[in-house]
Amino acid sequence: MNRISWDQYFMAQSHLLALRSTCTRLTVGATIVRDNRIIAGGYNGSIAGGTHCIDDGCYVIDNHCIRTIHAEMNALLQCAKFGVPTAEAEIYVTHFPCLQCCKSLIQAGIKAVYYAEDYKNHPYAIELFEQAGVKTEKVEARGAIDVYGKEKQDFVRSLLGQLEQSGLEKEAVLELEKEAKLLFNK
């Protein structure tokens, strides 16, 4: 039996949250943890009850979607809304936080930022984290959940398409398609 680590578990949770994102520019998930307990979570999206980017397209100004509240901010605001202290807590984010989120995380007393993927890591954000004594570490959920499930599915679909185009009998392609569907549970 392979027991997953806390890092894998919390990062997997952030990847799951990212799947709830409503802004199509980047799907991000964030999980705030204290003493190995999840105290809040967030994803990239509009205000509650607001228009979703997935429905109406992004509202882009200066190359930023101004409709979106970032996952980290949503997680922090959930704590604010329900009165949960964030001092000394840690956050697991699917992507390295932007400068705005970086400042908010520091100010909220977050002590460690674990991220799965580098994302335009702003030098000033790195500097501020260092200055504030906030630990940053790249960790992966790999092995806990299949975060690349969609990519694999797309890849297999494209392979099947190419097989068909290269002259493989329709029946054989359909058979492979059936197997792929079972594999991806769809």
Instruction: Give the binding site for Zn ion (CB under 5 A).
Output: 23, 53, 58, 65, 68, 70, 98, 101
Taking the least distance from each CB to Zn ion, the nearer of 23 and 89 is 23
Contact predicate 147/15, CB 8 Å: yes
Taking the least distance from each CB to Zn ion, the nearer of 116 and 144 is 116
Which of 186, 25, 30, 5 lies closest to 95 in space, CA to CA?
30
Catalytic one among 72, 90, 130, 151?
72
Q: Among this protein's residues, is 72 annotated catalytic?
A: yes
Q: How far apart are CA 95 and CA 93, in angstroms?
A: 5
Taking the least distance from each CB to Zn ion, the nearer of 15 and 70 is 70
Q: How far is the CB of 67 from Zn ion (least distance, A)?
A: 5
Token pair, residue 163, equals 């097989």
Taking the least distance from each CB to Zn ion, the nearer of 68 and 94 is 68
One-letter amino acid for residue 31 of the chain: T
Q: What Cα–Cα distance (Å) separates residue 23 from each residue in 47, 92, 121, 153, 154?
A: 11, 19, 20, 22, 21
Radius of gyration over every alpha carbon of the chain, rounded to an integer in angstroms:
20
Q: How far is the CB of 123 from Zn ion (least distance, A)?
A: 16
Q: How far is the CB of 121 from Zn ion (least distance, A)?
A: 12
Q: How far is the CB of 115 from Zn ion (least distance, A)?
A: 11
Indicate the burial class of 154 (C-beta count within 10 angstroms; 0-12, 13-18, 19 or more).
exposed
Q: Provide the annotated active-site residues.
A: 72
